[in-house]
Amino acid sequence: MAQNFGKIPSHKSYVLSLYRTVLRNIPKCCHSYAFQYEIKKTLSKQLFKHKHDKSSWSVYTLLNEFSLLNNCLLEGKLQEIKNLMKPLKKMKKQLETTKILNSLTSLGDVKTNDPEEVRRFHVLSAYIKRKQDLGLLPAYIPKTYQHKLLLPLALNEHACLKLFHIQQKLKNGPPSAGLSYTKEGRNQIWFVRSPINKGRQQSKKLGILIRKERKDSQKNIDNLNFCEINAAWALHEAIWEEYLESKKIIKVNLPKYLEYAANIPKSTKCNPSSQYQKIKEWVDPVREIMFELHSKSFQRVEYFNKYKEKLLKNGGQLAYFDKKSKEMYAKRLTLFRKMSKETLPYVTLFIEGRDLPSVLAKYGF
């Protein structure tokens, strides 16, 4: 069975040696940085492309050209090097041109539309389908009628539904800001949720904090799991050494011994509670590390509980966003009343600029 030349040690050694020699000779014999880069790039591509060649004639031809390139460099024949590289460039350009032509052919007559036009088209399509399902429109409708007659009706119906939702929201009264949280490990990260700071308006720092806490919590859990595994091995070592010295087998409830209580004093947490010296030597160092990890976790819990109190304080973020939400509601209510009084009675479906979608856009709805 034919074998790749790259797997033959003598061939691999020869190619790498020649490649290193050429790379050393390029800056010595060629003073143009652009041409140096071009030669190196072409060499790298060709070596990667023909890495798995099995044809002996192809490999032989390429090695001859490689050796000729090195000789041309040493003799300063840069024009001959360009001639050697021309077929490779030509092939690349042809391939790129073919790809472009194929992509253009596949595109056909498809045109890129404006996003607003696409939105209007979807509204019209949904309107026609709905009316056809109810038997209010025929199966075939000419394009002229669709755009000149049905499109204004479809947009008006869509805008009426939007207007109804706006009216209902304003009728429900001013929205209030509230506290929400996301849980990461033991931590509850509290933050203010309101109409002002939802979606893209949400604080980027909050997102960074949540991702950081998620990463740190997972790291803490992984470290505790690793310590539990090491504690089990340490207990086996302690039992074995105690048996060798006193011929006694230690009986220890390891999960209970490693159990951490958040409400006991620090001195009690970290002091060894075992009467066996070998347990103190082997298991207690791991136990102390686990207690430190637990302590760090509970400190973060306390920190976020205090942060919640800070958010709830008078003049804090909750009060600020609540005030801003009410101001936004009052502004929208004023605009809605103004629009209802001055513009809505004079809406005309088929006059652009005086139709309902244009009126809603004008007043920021």
Mean pLDDT of the region 56-76: 79
**At which residue do the structure tokens 């040690």 appear?**
9
The predicted-structure confidence for 281-329, as pLDDT tens digits, reads as follows 888 888 888 888 888 888 888 888 888 777 776 667 788 888 888 888 8
Predicted pLDDT of residue 265: 46
The predicted-structure confidence for 128-180, as pLDDT tens digits, reads as follows 998 888 888 888 888 888 888 888 899 989 989 998 998 888 888 888 887 87
The pTM for the full model equals: 0.49
Helix axes 317-342, 151-171, angle to 10 degrees: 130
Percent residues over pLDDT 70 in the chain:
86
Return mean pLDDT, the chain: 79
Mean pLDDT of the region 231-242: 87
Across-strand partners of 189?
Answer: 182
3-state helix, strand, coil in the chain (%, to 5): 75, 5, 25
**Dist. CA 179–CA 188, nearest whole Å:** 11
Predicted pLDDT of residue 66: 78
* Predicted confidence band of residue 25 (pLDDT cuts 50, 70, 90): confident
Domain ranges within the chain, ordered by starting residue = 5-100, 117-172+324-365, 178-312
Does an H or E element contain 181, and which? Answer: strand 178-184
Across-strand partners of 178?
Answer: 193
The predicted-structure confidence for 250-266, as pLDDT tens digits, reads as follows 888 888 888 875 554 44
Residue 268 scores a pLDDT above 60: no
**At which residue do the structure tokens 């919590």 appear?**
217
